[in-house]
């Protein structure tokens, strides 16, 4: 049985004060007996401070991106080992905003994935199609290409406890959510791609849905058999909404 995971991607938002308040509210409101793993992904500069605030809460800390390099003359970059050093357990790689706005290719994303694994952290690999690609009927081709770029470079066991997030680009920050059926179809497709290499890894793999998840739509999405929780952007900045999503995921088990 896969334990659900809800991860909040704060993106480029907030301050020391609002981040601390958000974490206090989430930690204070989360059910201790929850049947869901919970994670927050603040901006780099707040990671160490948020790590301290999360002590004893059981809430995980993730980073939103990482360098593919492990160290050296790479001004402005942050290495996976540094993220581990400040208390991260997970790192988002291949978010569509990184792909579209910062030119991260499938190959770069795959190298970031491997850098995260090399630092003994868990990658959260984002895949997903644009609206044009969906309209052209190429959703599966796009998701396959994005996933294969990683799977071709690692042995399937190296997937370890990595997480995959299916995030249709047209649903991110738009308020337009994929229907549970649309999301389920792609999640099942992703699990099938992994199952072709290892049935065991596929059965254990957590596949999150991301794209305008809110307290009001989370339950229906998480009721789908291959949706193992959510990667949440906008709603993760609102403690009450984020807690409602966590509690919807907790009800899945
Ligand atoms: C995201 O950025 O990963 C995301 C899913 O954002 P939102 O929930 O705001 O659509």
The 10s digit of each residue's pLDDT in 120-169 is: 999 999 999 999 999 999 999 999 999 999 999 998 988 889 999 999 99
Question: SS3 for 215?
Answer: helix
Q: Ligand 1 atom closest to Cα of 174?
A: 10
Q: Which range has the worst mean pLDDT, 53-67, 101-115, 148-162?
A: 148-162
**Sign of the dihedral defined by the CA atoms of residues 11, 16, 22, 28, in that order:** positive
Kindly state if the Cβ of 231 falls inside 6 Å of ligand 1: yes
What spacing in Å lies between the alpha carbon of 196 and ligand 1's midpoint? 29
Q: What is the pTM for the complete model shown? A: 0.97
Q: Domain residues for 91?
A: 5-250
- Find out whether 202 and 163 touch, Cβ atoms under 8 Å: no
CATH number at residue 176: 3.20.20.70
Helix (H, G, I), strand (E, B) or coil at 230: strand
Dist. CA 167 → ligand 1 center (Å): 8
- If one counts every other C-beta atom within 10 angstroms of the C-beta of residue 114, the result is 18
- Cα(212) to ligand 1 centroid in Å equals 6
Angle at 98 between CA 37 and CA 116, to 5 degrees: 55
Atom of ligand 1 nearest to the CA of 171: 10
pLDDT tier at 179 (50, 70, 90 boundaries)? very high
9 lines ligand 1 (CB under 6 A): yes
Mutate to test the pocket of ligand 1, among 43, 221, 234 (most ligand atoms within 8 A of CB): 234
CB 245 within 8 A of CB 214: yes
Q: How many domains does the chain have?
A: 1
Mean pLDDT for 175-203 is: 96
If you write DSSP's letter for every residue of 149-210 in order, what string do you get? HHHTTS-GGGGTT-EEEE--GGGTTTS-PPPHHHHHHHHHHHHHHHHTT-HHHHHH-EEEEE
Terminal C-alpha separation, the chain: 8
Look at residue 180 and tell me whether its pLDDT is greater than 70. Answer: yes
In 3D space, the residue among 208, 223, 216 whose CA is nearest the CA of residue 38 turns out to be 208
Tokens 């993730």 sit on residue: 62
Closest ligand 1 atom to residue 213 Cα is 8
pLDDT given for residue 6 in this prediction? 98
> Does ligand 1 have an atom closer than 6 angstroms to the CB of 232?
yes
> Is 251 a residue whose pLDDT tops 90?
no
Instruction: Assign 253 a pLDDT band (cuts: 50, 70, 90).
Output: low
Beta-carbon-side half-sphere exposure of residue 22 (alpha carbons within 13 Å) = 24
């Amino acid at each position: 049985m896969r334990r659900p995971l809800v991860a909040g991607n704060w993106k480029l938002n907030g301050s020391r004060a609002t981040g601390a308040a958000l974490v206090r509210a989430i930690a204070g409101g989360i059910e201790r007996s929850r049947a869901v793993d919970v994670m927050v992904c603040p901006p780099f500069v707040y990671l160490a401070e948020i790590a301290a605030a999360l002590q004893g809460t059981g809430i995980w800390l993730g980073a939103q991106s990482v360098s593919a390099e492990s160290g050296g003359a790479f001004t402005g970059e942050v290495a996976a080992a540094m993220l581990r050093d400040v208390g991260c357990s997970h790192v988002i790689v291949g978010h569509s905003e990184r792909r579209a706005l910062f030119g991260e290719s499938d190959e770069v994303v795959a190298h970031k994935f491997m850098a995260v694994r090399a630092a003994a952290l868990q990658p959260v690999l984002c895949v997903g199609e644009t609206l044009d690609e969906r309209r052209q009927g190429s959703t599966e081709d796009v998701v396959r290409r994005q996933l294969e770029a990683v799977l071709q470079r690692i042995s399937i066991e190296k997937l370890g406890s990595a997480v995959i997030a299916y995030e249709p680009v047209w649903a991110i920050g738009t308020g337009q959510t994929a229907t549970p059926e649309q999301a389920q179809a792609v999640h099942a497709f992703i699990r099938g791609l992994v199952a072709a290499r290892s049935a065991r890894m596929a059965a254990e793999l957590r596949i999150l849905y991301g794209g305008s998840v809110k307290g009001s739509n989370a339950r229906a999405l998480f009721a789908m058999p291959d949706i193992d929780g959510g990667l949440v952007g906008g709603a993760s900045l609102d403690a009450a909404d984020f807690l409602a999503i966590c509690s919807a995921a907790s009800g899945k088990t």
